[in-house]
Structure formats: structure tokens, C-alpha cells
Amino acid sequence: MTISNSAAREDETCVAFDFDGTITTTDSLRDFVRYQVGNRCFLIATLLVLPWLVGMFTGLCSRAEAKARFLAITLRGRTQVELEEAAARYANERLPMLVRPEMIERIEEHKRRGHRLVLVSASPTLYLGHWARAAGFEAVLATQLEFRDGRFSGRLASPNCWGPEKVRQLQQWLGDAGGRVRFAYGDSRGDQEMLAFAEHGWLRGLGALPSLDAWPERLHQG
């Protein structure tokens, strides 16, 4: 989902942020589901999805399959209106408590410099769109849920936005004008391709946030 359909121009600086673990202190999808269904149902769902989680880590199934199974167990059958209302409440009431203050400061610094911000995440656009608009992001490239006849089908409507898929969606958003991603921020294996795609990439855990005026080359390598 893009908040703005306009592609980046070649002379513009674009900044890509991962969300979970980079901007936040925890995984927002798990937190959203717990927020929606309660602790008891969340625990039961976690136990039921264990075979798919094991399969994901052993290579027997994909991350997308494991995520869809978890969401199907917890949220399938909920109406689109119900989930959209829950997502708006979550973005306004709960999500701000998970956000790292230093990342908000970095986002604001990029905005002061006139940079175009894009959020690139494997979590759902369902609630990320609400948060990103309020935070000043121009676009959200993330995973979409499938709704049929007004209800969540338990499936994903788009590829899981993780790893190489992040770069594919960024390239599509950048468009024919050839805009560039100058800065990118991530925290995990799923962000490595995006960090390599950017001119300057920062991976949480490999040092403090560098100054934008003196960003060392390829911080994410090593």
C-alpha cells in the first residue's frame, strides 16, 4: 500500500525504514494480535502454530505460510470493518508505546531535511498505514491481508514483504524516474537486501546511529 502514488524523482533523497525491532522495541504483529484477541487466545494460537514455526526455521515452509497460518488461527472471519477499527485504535493507543524515542528523533531529522520517507515492513498495512501517516511517511510498503465478502480470509493478499521482497517493492515505488534510496535502517536478516540497496545502511546492533552529515560508508557490512 502506498500513501502517495507519486514515484521518487532522481534528485530526491529517499529514506527507507524497517519497522519491527528498528523503530519499535518488539514485533508489532504479535502485539497487535494479542491486543485484539487477548492473552489466552494468543497463547493457544501460538501453541497451534508451533508446527509451522518449526517448519519456517527448518526450511520446510516459508515465513509467509507461517504468518498466514498464525493470522488464520487468530483473526480469520473477522470483518474488515472490525479489523480496520481495531487497527486504528491500536495505532493510536498502543503502538506509540512501542516506538523508540531515538528513532522518532531520526525520522524528524530526515523530515527537516526534506527527505521522502518510506516504511518497508513485513507487518500488515492494516495498522502501519495509520501510524505512518501520523509520523510523516509518504508511503508504506508492507504485507497486505486478503478480505473476501467483507471478512478476513486468513490469507495474505500480497507477498510477505521480507528480504528480497523489500527491494522489489522499493524499486517499484521508486519508478521509472530512477529515484534513489540514500539511507536505510533495519535490525534483522530480513533487512539485509534493503540495506545493501541503499547508499548508506544502518543495522541495529552494529553501532550507534551515525550523524547524517558524517555517515560512514556501508555500516551494515561486516
Whether residue 40 is predicted with pLDDT greater than 70 in this model: the reply is yes
Crossing angle between the packed helical segments 28-37 and 125-135, to the nearest 10 degrees = 110
Q: Nearest-5° angle of CA 183, CA 167, CA 54?
A: 115
Model confidence over 146-181: pLDDT tens digits?
999 999 999 999 999 999 999 999 999 998 556 789
What is the secondary structure of 103-143 as a DSSP string? HHHHHHHHHHTTPEEEEEEEEEHHHHHHHHHHHT-SEEEEE
How is residue 181 written as a grid cell? 534510496
Percentage of the chain modeled with pLDDT above 70 = 91
The yes or no reply on domain 13-214 and CATH 3.40.50.1000 is yes
Model confidence over 48-62: pLDDT tens digits?
988 888 887 788 889
Please report, for the chain, the start and end positions of each structural domain, with discontinuous segments joined by +.
13-214
11-15, 65-69, 152-156: which range is least confident on average? 11-15
How is residue 28 written as a grid cell? 508489532
Q: How far apart are CA 145 and CA 158, in angstroms?
A: 7
